[in-house]
Amino acid sequence: MSAPLGAPWPASAGRDGGALVLGGVSAPALAAEHGTPAYVLDESDFRARARAYRAAFADAFEAIGTGVDVYYAGKALLTVAVARWAREEGLRVDTASGGELAVALRAGVPGAELGLHGNNKSDGEIDAALVAGVGRIIVDSLAEVDRVAALAAARGVAAPVMVRVTTGVHAGGHEFISTAHEDQKFGLSVNAGPDGGDAPAMQALLRVQERPSLRLLGIHSHIGSQILDGAGFVEAARAVLRLRADLAARTGVLVEEVDLGGGYGIAYLPGEETVDPFTIARDIAHAVATASAELGTALPRISIEPGRAIVGPSGVTLYTVGTVKPVLVTGDDGATFTRLYVSVDGGMSDNIRPALYGARYHAELANRTSTAAPALARVVGKHCESGDIVLQEIRLPGDIAAGDLLAVAATGAYGRSMASNYNLLPRPPVVAVADGASCVIVRRETVDDLLALDQG
């Protein structure tokens, strides 16, 4: 085995006799056993990242005198096995729908260690959360405060609630994944609202306190995703702590918890920057300690919700190359060049991120290495539209041919979880690898699965 390949590949990735090896299993063996396309998940890599986030935040916040809970954000990828791994590494699980909640419960995660998010939860989802005894429901609107209160009263329970606020901090990769500025659908603003009275966030906190069937746990802020430095988190933490102090001044109640959300960025390309959990945890802890001291309020317990940073780098998508087509292209400067269109057996149905966010990825031949001169290539899928692009631009060996395997790195987060059946392609399996063995944790969909849904 070669030395580890390093980011953006998972920790176990290396090469053996030319072939890419993941978790001790070669890519050709994985393709032969499980077919392609397939999402391959390095279990040890996932566990190591979960442990690192937990240790980094526990250490940093213990040092300032408070505790931390790390919730794995299941929206990045949630399967029963993944939820179990997260729990075994000491993480709780954040869910964002009844489906995610059901998978986490199936994995044996106790309700008390689950959170339920969503800007438009159904009554059914809220009720399922109450029945499961979830540790927190994060309410996202004034109307939802009333709905959760009514459903909890009907069940005769006091629902533990956090209020999701928007702090005005603008952070994150693409506009679609930036969530704390004002003009979007999430949360309640800490600034003035349309009715000119108290800020919507304050109104919601006061309303939760008034409802006997609700128990106000704290304040929640999630500023965005794929964030690479700590400044946004620090600013958001200060704003949330100020709101917490304002609420205490008005009502005498200092809420116990502050959740600072997820959003920690990862490297998608070789040489790209990534977040060091230990550094960012220290920066955030310092900001929480300083702001609390300035405000004269006791330290809150903190929680965070990383998704991508735990599972993103653990996942690799394996494809088989089909059609390879050289196309003569005229560039902006009028010069012509050849672009090699390399088609793989999946595409925007298993990874929508390039089409949706212009996301960029790294790929390598996975069944062999090649000394052929690199060709300027674009990796495309098999769907019926030209925007079906997996890699916009990459240099691949010029002798790449039908039957080769191509591995795309860092697809663990928001790949399978955002997959579709466009063109009625069955969704690929999720295959876990560890210690030289592979195991299917979500099986491949079949055409029969698709037909079973169609009632004719």
Q: How many of the other CB atoms lie within 10 Å of CB of 407?
A: 24
Q: Minimal distance in Å, beta carbon 283 to ligand LLP?
A: 17
Q: Which is nearer to ligand LLP, 61 or 264 (CB)?
A: 264
Distance CA 30, CA 387 (A): 29
Pairing of strands 389-397, 374-380: antiparallel
Q: Minimal distance in Å, beta carbon 260 to ligand LLP?
A: 9
Q: Which is nearer to ligand LLP, 200 or 312 (CB)?
A: 312
Q: Is 354 in the site for ligand LLP (CB under 6 A)?
A: no
Distance CA 71, CA 117 (A): 12
Exactly one of 384, 386, 454, 456 is catalytic; name it: 384
Pairing of strands 214-220, 159-166: parallel
68, 309, 406, 433: which one contacts ligand LLP (CB under 6 A)?
309
Q: Scan residues 10-69 and list those touching ligand LLP (CB under 6 A).
A: none
Q: Scan residues 161-220 and list those touching ligand LLP (CB under 6 A).
A: 177
Distance CA 106, CA 303 (A): 23
Q: Which is nearer to ligand LLP, 69 or 404 (CB)?
A: 69
Residue 384 is a catalytic residue: yes
Q: Which is nearer to ligand LLP, 57 or 264 (CB)?
A: 264
**Amino acid sitting at position 291:** A
Q: Is 140 in the site for ligand LLP (CB under 6 A)?
A: no
Candidates 78-86, 206-214, 413-421, 423-431; binding stretch for ligand LLP (CB under 6 A): 413-421
Candidates 45-53, 144-152, 222-230, 285-293; binding stretch for ligand LLP (CB under 6 A): 222-230
Q: 9 φ, ψ to 5°?
A: -85, 160
Distance CA 181, CA 175 (A): 10
Q: Which is nearer to ligand LLP, 353 or 382 (CB)?
A: 353
Q: Scan residues 228-267 and list those touching ligand LLP (CB under 6 A).
A: 261-264
Is cis: bond before 428, omega within 30 of 0? no
Q: Give which of 405, 425, 412, 298 is closest to 349, Cα–Cα.
A: 425
Q: Is 414 in the site for ligand LLP (CB under 6 A)?
A: yes
The residues, any chain, with a CB within 8 Å of residue 432's CB and separated by 6 or more, are 23, 40, 41, 43, 81, 438, 439, 440, 441
Total residues interacting with ligand LLP, rule: CB under 6 A? 22
Binding mask 261-300 for ligand LLP (x = CB under 6 A): xxxx------------------------------------
Candidates 208-216, 301-309, 342-350, 448-456; binding stretch for ligand LLP (CB under 6 A): 301-309
54, 238, 244, 308: which one contacts ligand LLP (CB under 6 A)?
308
Question: Alpha carbon of 180 to those of 164, 176, 223, 240, 453: distances in Å?
Answer: 10, 11, 5, 12, 38
43, 257, 305, 364: which one contacts ligand LLP (CB under 6 A)?
305
Q: 254 φ, ψ to 5°?
A: -100, 110
76, 86, 180, 365: which one contacts ligand LLP (CB under 6 A)?
76
- 218 - beta bridge partners? 162, 257
Q: Minimal distance in Å, beta carbon 393 to ligand LLP?
A: 20
Q: Minimal distance in Å, beta carbon 261 to ligand LLP?
A: 5
Q: Give which of 258, 259, 262 is closest to 275, Cα–Cα.
A: 262
Q: Minimal distance in Å, beta carbon 30 to ligand LLP?
A: 24
Candidates 200-208, 233-241, 305-313, 368-376; binding stretch for ligand LLP (CB under 6 A): 305-313
Q: Is 353 in the site for ligand LLP (CB under 6 A)?
A: yes
Candidates 62-70, 307-315, 422-430, 442-450; binding stretch for ligand LLP (CB under 6 A): 307-315
Q: Which is nearer to ligand LLP, 232 or 261 (CB)?
A: 261
Q: Is 121 in the site for ligand LLP (CB under 6 A)?
A: no
Q: Which is nearer to ligand LLP, 158 or 418 (CB)?
A: 418
230, 306, 354, 412: which one contacts ligand LLP (CB under 6 A)?
306
Please provide the DSSP assignment of 206-268 as one string.
HHHHH-TTEEEEEEE---BSSB-SSHHHHHHHHHHHHHHHHHHHHHS---SEEE----B----
Buried b vs exposed e over 145-172: b needs ≥16 C-beta within 10 Å?
A: beebbebbeeeeeebbbbbbbbbebebb
Distance CA 160, CA 111 (A): 12
Question: Alpha carbon of 151 to those of 157, 207, 221: distances in Å?
Answer: 9, 15, 24
Cβ(261)–Cβ(305) below 8 Å: yes
Positions marked active-site? 384
Task: Enumerate binding residues for ligand LLP (CB under 6 A).
Answer: 73, 75-76, 94, 117, 177, 222, 225-226, 261-264, 305-309, 353, 413-414, 418
